């Protein structure tokens, strides 16, 4: 019985931690070819109230956006901001990995 209670407690603990994790969005962007492009996108996305951190990888054509805890950001908003900056969004997905993991290149 003690083992069952311990296992149940651990399962609930793991679920509660993942429920409060800050989401990271991975956005594939066409048209980024230089550091100036990356800097412009980073500045615009970072200015959003929902954004905690932004990482841009030119080589991978990737913009990773870590959101503040409890915040959401619609795909339409992201697409509009990047399109208004002159680039095309080809895909948006929520990553199961934190931004630091993506920056380290471990999210392949």
CA dist 79 → 60, 85, 92 (Å): 18, 10, 9
**Closest to 63 in 3D by CA, of 87, 72, 22:** 87
- Which one is predicted more confidently, 15 or 97? 97
pLDDT at position 16 = 39
Record the pTM.
0.77
pLDDT tens sequence across 34-93: 999 899 999 999 999 999 999 999 999 999 999 999 999 999 999 999 999 999 999 999
pLDDT at position 3 = 61
21-103, CATH topology level: Alpha-Beta Plaits (3.30.70)
pLDDT at position 13 = 47
* pLDDT at 14 exceeding the cut of 70: no
Domain ranges of the chain: 21-103
- pLDDT confidence bin for 105, thresholds 50/70/90: confident
- Beta 62-67 vs 88-95: how paired, if at all? unpaired
Name the H helices within 20-65.
35-46
Determine the Cα–Cα distance for residues 14 and 3; give it in Å rounded to an integer: 17
Sign of CA dihedral 98, 102, 106, 108: positive
């Amino acid at each position: 019985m003690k083992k069952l209670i311990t296992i149940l407690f651990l399962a609930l603990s793991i679920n509660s931690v993942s429920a409060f994790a800050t989401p990271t969005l991975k956005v594939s962007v066409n048209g980024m070819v230089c550091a100036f492009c990356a800097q412009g996108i980073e500045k615009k996305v970072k200015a959003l109230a929902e954004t905690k951190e932004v990482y841009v990888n030119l080589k991978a054509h990737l913009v990773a956006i870590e959101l503040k805890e409890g915040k959401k950001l619609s795909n339409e908003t992201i697409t509009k901001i990047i399109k208004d900056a002159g680039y095309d969004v080809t895909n948006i997905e929520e990553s199961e990995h934190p931004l630091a993991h993506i920056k380290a290149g471990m999210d392949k």
